Structure 1
């Protein structure tokens, strides 16, 4: 049995894909912007043969770093989780191996009209928090308001085109004005409402499929897990003579 692996080692040694997210990926970075890193690691197969399973996600080890285990990441992406879907489309890739490249080749398999429900549901929750801030403090958290506008525009454009593009492009300056508190809250609210209505209008005729391609994603997961298990046999049991009788040949 392989020794235990720390969460930090899983991220350090088994990451298949990592990227920069947040303002830097969205085209909204300024001099004071943080560098938010997101990644996907593949826990080695032997870790699942224990009673204690590997973590589904790891915070750190660096500041502003968060990683998902592959299966959890795929599960969330199939549910059209906005943060996870956008992670697959970052223009700022920092680490990528052959499994990560196949993951990125599956980006289209996760996109469906389900994104309308999940993006808008997330936006509604965030908008309620902003409205509560206005009631309590007289103003929202402007940075959060900026990112909510960005998310709603991203959702609308995804439903219209069938493609997920996370860079804000020509909207950069308008959105940064919101972040700086230079746009009155009623105007920001009106902008949010318009974007949500445009997303609703785009949903029925969207070129996106009704559901994600779960079978294609599951095939990728099964093949990846099998390869990890076979690699374990190759590196450990063959050296010990455990599979000398043809166990690997029977796979």
Structure 2
């Protein structure tokens, strides 16, 4: 997969969270800018490129902004990574890091993170067979770790406006995964606990997203790549 004009990319997923084990996949996420001229034609360019060798997902800048403003947990982590996990950083990428605190909003963060956590719980129930070992048990433990992480990170973002990607006490996540692999219903108290914490906490985030900063950044991206293409023509 060859994608040009990558603005920002880095290592995400279990490696970033501090939950990777030997043999874990290394996931990468990034965003790129389509040449501005191509956005005016009859057929617009692809908004996402995904490969599995290596595991890499790249979203076009406008799509990434829409997902981030919607509170999407997966894309949101890209702008909160520890510095050492970035593999591509450009001036426009750094500008995006500079406006990351303007992207989340209370309702969308709550709905997205709790929504994804609830999906994980459903997967636990659907796949749970009480088997702590083997493929099914490993999948259940993985979904359980995701559930706990989504709840913890989502609540932090909702309550403080900041997002810590590397989890505190990774071993507690692995123990939780093993416990839930043995009994998927063991995840329900944690999910209910965070539902209550979200409900009783007044968020520092605005209730609705303010698209002003993202819109201004995206227009700078469009100007930059329109000028660059004209100069090379």
TM range (shorter): 0.7 to 0.9
What is the distance in 2 between the residues matched to 1:115 and 1:178?
A: 24
What is the distance in 2 between the residues matched to 1:173 and 1:195?
A: 20
Indicate yes or no: 2:135 matched with 1:138.
no
- Alpha carbons 1:156, 1:196 under 8 Å: kept: no
- Alpha carbons 2:121, 2:187 under 8 Å: kept: no
Which residue of 20, 32, 36 corresponds with 1:29? 20
| Alignment of structure 1 residues 52-201 onto 2, 5 Å | 52-60=43-51, 62-91=53-82, 92-113=85-106, 114-134=108-128, 137-138=129-130, 141-170=140-169, 172-181=170-179, 184-185=182-183, 186-201=185-200
What's the Cα RMSD here? 1.9
1:120 to partner: Cα distance: 1.1
What is the distance in 2 between the residues matched to 1:124 and 1:182?
A: 14
Indicate yes or no: 2:171 matched with 1:208.
no
1:104-163 Cα distance to aligned partner (Å, 9 max, x none) = 1111111210201111122222211211222xx335611111111111111122222221
| 1:220 counterpart residue number | 217
1:181 to partner: Cα distance: 4.8
SS in 1 for 2:126: helix
TM-score for the superposition, normalised by structure 2 = 0.87
The structure whose Rg is larger is: 1
1:36 to partner: Cα distance: 0.4
- Alpha carbons 2:130, 2:182 under 8 Å: kept: no
| 2:134 counterpart residue number | none
| Alignment of structure 1 residues 42-57 onto 2, 5 Å | 42-57=33-48
Count residues in correspondence: 222
- Alpha carbons 2:158, 2:204 under 8 Å: kept: yes
What is the distance in 1 between the residues matched to 2:161 and 2:62?
A: 25
- Alpha carbons 2:35, 2:226 under 8 Å: kept: yes
What is the distance in 1 between the residues matched to 2:199 and 2:76?
A: 19
Q: 1:46 to 1:59 in 2, by over 3 A?
A: same
